[in-house]
């Protein structure tokens, strides 16, 4: 009896170890919390979600939300990527959502940040990505893509320039030339040659202009996509049917090219 109990415990321990050590996540272990402590004492929280389809290695989509929002506002986009076989890392940027508390348990909102604070966001993203890759060996560093909306789009461009390897592709929803201290043209020019899908709403004339201007600095392919409804950022996903599907299909196509 004692030998049987010991054998059962040994099997359970082995299964637990395999789940985080380079093997595909099982259907019962698909969601993980990943945390990262920043240099200015914030705890960045993110949610790593695996698709139900078992693989040895997964491509990853890093999702960076709009200013004033949180990763919970992405709607079905993360699950749509999961259904397509991608793991997703939904990051709550500093001062937003679950990342609005520092290591001293003080709440610190983005509302009180200045440009220098926002300029630390890309390094936070690089840090949380490295933390994810170190904890989950079945995530491929060579098949990382970014999806960002307004603030998140600018942060994605900066993070892409800072990080190696460079991302395969980036979806930039309402990107800005300059926003909250994050100037993007030179950063995009130095971010390698990722394919870029840049998105704006038709009636958001400023956003359309920004998308046109930013395209001059892209070193890889640059697809401008204009949707009829919505204003700025991730809220466009709720107002344009088919937009989520367009984004997923485009990313899948670009990753498959690699």
**HSE value, Cβ hemisphere, 13 Å, CA-based, for 52:** 5
**Is the CB of residue 224 less than 8 Å from the CB of residue 212?**
yes
pLDDT at 138 exceeding the cut of 50: yes
169 or 103: which leads in pLDDT: 169
CATH hierarchy code of domain 30-257? 3.40.50.1820
User: pTM of the predicted model, to two decimals?
Assistant: 0.88
pLDDT in tens, 172-197: 999 999 999 999 999 999 999 999 99
The dihedral built from the CA positions of residue 211, 216, 242 and 85, taken in this order, carries a sign that is: negative
Mean pLDDT taken over the chain: 90
pLDDT at 14 exceeding the cut of 80: no
Give the residue from 257, 253, 248 showing the smallest Cα distance to 80.
248
pLDDT band at residue 13 using 50, 70 and 90 as cut-offs: very low
Residues 6+ apart with CB under 8 A from 1: none
**pLDDT score of 23:** 34
pLDDT at 22 exceeding the cut of 70: no
**pLDDT score of 231:** 87
**Is the CB of residue 136 less than 8 Å from the CB of residue 20?**
yes
Q: Where along the chain do its domains lie? A: 30-257
Side-by-side strand order, sheet with 43-49: 31-37, 43-49, 87-91, 58-64, 139-149, 169-173, 195-201, 222-227
């Amino acid at each position: 009896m004692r030998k049987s109990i010991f054998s059962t415990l040994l099997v359970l321990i082995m299964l637990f170890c395999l789940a985080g050590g380079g093997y595909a996540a099982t259907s019962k272990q698909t969601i993980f919390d990943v945390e990262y402590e920043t240099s200015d004492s914030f705890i960045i929280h993110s949610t790593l979600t695996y698709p139900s389809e078992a693989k040895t290695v997964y491509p990853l989509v890093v999702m960076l939300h709009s200013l004033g929002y949180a990763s919970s506002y992405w709607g079905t986009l993360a699950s749509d990527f999961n259904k397509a076989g991608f793991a997703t890392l939904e990051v709550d940027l500093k001062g937003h959502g679950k990342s609005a508390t520092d290591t001293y348990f003080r709440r610190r909102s983005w509302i009180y940040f200045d440009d220098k604070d926002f300029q630390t966001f890309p390094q936070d993203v690089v840090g949380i990505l490295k933390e994810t890759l170190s904890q989950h060996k079945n995530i491929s560093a060579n098949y990382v893509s970014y999806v960002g909306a307004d603030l998140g789009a600018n942060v994605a461009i900066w993070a892409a320039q800072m990080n190696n390897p460079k991302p395969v592709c980036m979806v930039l929803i309402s990107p800005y030339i300059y926003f909250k201290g994050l100037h993007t043209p030179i950063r995009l020019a130095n971010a390698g040659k990722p394919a870029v899908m840049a998105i704006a709403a038709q009636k958001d004339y400023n956003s359309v202009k920004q998308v046109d201007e930013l395209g001059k600095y892209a070193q890889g392919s640059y697809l401008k996509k204009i949707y009829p409804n919505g204003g700025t950022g991730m809220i466009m996903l709720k107002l344009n049917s088919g937009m989520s599907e367009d984004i997923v299909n485009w990313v899948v196509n670009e990753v498959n090219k690699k």
